[in-house]
Structure 1
Amino acid sequence: MIELKYVNRRYPTSSALQYKQIVTIPTGEIVGVLGENGSGKTTLLKAIMGIGEFRDGEITIDGKPVRDQYERMAFITEEGSYVPDMSPQKYGRFLAEFYPKFDETHYAELIEAYELPATRRIRTFSKGQKMKLEICAGLAKRADYLIMDEPFVGKDVFSRRDSLKRMIDGLTGEETVLLTTHLIDEIENVIDRAIILHKGIIRTDFYIDDMRAQGLSLADIMQEAREAKFYSPIRWPSSN
């Protein structure tokens, strides 16, 4: 379980995150963290990974500080955590030394499925190839917590669907997944829950099943969040 308690993280000129509540994400949920550019999505994921300092508040994983849970977490980000001078093959061996649960066989299968050159230096890869490698490494860690920051950016629609399918097929159901994306139409049938941010504040937090029961879509709620003048929880329309 991931728990955020009254988190307040500030930059010198602005408040990047300001959660005046307790947010709990139970084990096994797939959560979409959504919002416009600059809304605080990446800042939130980095905070959960223990990157950066808080002014106030606390984030815990299963009741423990994040720094005590790193081996159970995988951070998949466009910025990349790979070693540029290594090949994917050497990088896999490198990761296996640091992550006890790293699945080298699954990693090799993903490298082949994504048609990545296993023996070429990563520094020579295109942006898209580097992102695919990051996904391969993250999924192969067999982590309990997958934190994914725009994992499908830059891919065409077919590559995005392929990546989504591989991600879902590779899960056991015990993992907790948080992902940021602008591709709301493509993830609506994948995520269990959505957290929408606006200017560093949680605008609304809801389950997809509840949304569908009200005849709404993610696009509808994103639009309402953009148009709202005040940061109050969205009230679902009456079902009567």
Structure 2
Amino acid sequence: MLIDCKNVQKKYLSKIAVDDISLEIEKGRVYALLGPNGSGKTTWMKMVAGLIKPTSGSILFEGEPIGVHSKSRVAYMPTEPFYYSYMSIQDVGKYYQDFFADFDMQRYNYLIDRMELNQKDKAKTLSSGLAAKLKIAATLSRKADLYMLDEPLNGIDIIARDRIIETILENASDDASLIISSHLVDELEKIIDYAIFIKTGRVAMQGEAEQLREEKNSSIVDLYKSIYA
């Protein structure tokens, strides 16, 4: 098992962002972390990435507490920019190469071309869709065991989404696990192995995607609508 999360809670003063979440993430699978903005998806991913600590409960990476070991093997793409505004796209690649020992510059250059981005363009001039493509390229250029992409399709037009998803699946390391957080369920329905629905900080439903479809006689999209409508 890659991630074993048990009874995890995260509180900010009186606000509970994540409430008693228990999840298991296995190797080599694609997970959808589903829910509207503010449901707790980002907080949970940041705890797995080691950026914030749970208030209670435990998260283990291959049986060990989240720490230096797990951080070197987890590639996390946040919703906010992780580079300086003065950087060009080329600078972002060099920055990542300096920061992560597993960063592959050759893969980064390939992905930047695949995303139809210009290495000389300044990060601060990019539209939200182009900035999302840059973040995806940088994250996938690491050779990680777990990739966590927080709302990777935000700002990307509907025509380009299928190609972006295809690029994500093709360029994640072999046998790695993918956790994709999104409220755009339609695009994820056809590629996921496992669906996790988060509502107000708790797991509202989770299970194998195909099994959920059969048991509930409903698509993942329709299940999303029934949970959050």
* Equivalence map 1:75-86=2 (5 Å): 75-86=76-87
**Aligned ranges 1:62-77 → 2 under 5 Å:** 62-68=62-68, 69-77=70-78
Shift, 1:177, TM fit:
1.0
What residue number does 1:225 align with? 227
Who is 1:162 aligned against? Answer: 163
Please state how far the C-alpha of 1:113 moved relative to its aligned partner.
Answer: 1.7
Amino acid at match of 1:196: F
Unaligned runs of 5+ in 1: 228-240
Query: 1 CA distance for matches of 2:99 and 2:78?
Result: 19
Tell me which amino acid in the other structure corresponds to 1:32.
A
Amino acid at match of 1:223: K
Q: Which amino acid aligns with 1:60?
A: L
CA RMSD in angstroms, aligned pairs only: 1.7
Q: Is the 8 A contact 1:31 1:194 kept in 2?
A: yes
CA contact (8 A) 2:3 2:62 kept: yes
**Rg larger in structure:** 1
Q: How does 1:1-240 map to 2 (within 5 A)?
A: 1-19=2-20, 22-68=22-68, 69-214=70-215, 215-226=217-228
Equivalent residue of 2:98, what SS? helix
SS, match of residue 11 in structure 2: strand
| Distance (Å, rounded) in 1 between the aligned partners of 2:57 and 2:96 | 32
Q: CA deviation at 1:127?
A: 2.0
Q: Aligned to 1:102, what secondary structure does the other structure show?
A: coil
Determine if contact 1:16/1:200 at 8 Å carries over to the other structure.
Answer: yes
Contact residue 76 and residue 134 of structure 1 kept, 8 A:
yes
Measure, in 2, the Cα distance between the counterparts of 1:211 and 1:10: 31
- Secondary structure of 2:108's counterpart equals helix
Q: Report if the CA contact (8 A) 1:146-1:175 is conserved.
A: yes
Distance of 2:35 and 2:125 partners within structure 1 = 33
Give per-residue Cα distances to partners, 1:147-180, cap 9 Å, x unaligned: 1110001111111111101011113441111111
| Matched letter for residue 157 of structure 1 | I
Query: How far apart are residue 118 of structure 1 and its match?
Result: 0.3
Letter in 2 for 1:203: A
Q: Give the paired residue count.
A: 226
Q: Percent same amino acid among aligned pairs?
A: 30
CA distance in 1, matches of 2:73, 2:152: 19
My pick for the range that moved more, 53-62 or 156-165, is 53-62
TM-superposed deviation, 1:124 = 2.2
Between the aligned partners of 2:132 and 2:62, the Cα distance in structure 1 is 29
Amino acid in structure 2 at the alignment position of 1:53:
K
SS at match of 2:196: strand
What letter is aligned with 2:183? H
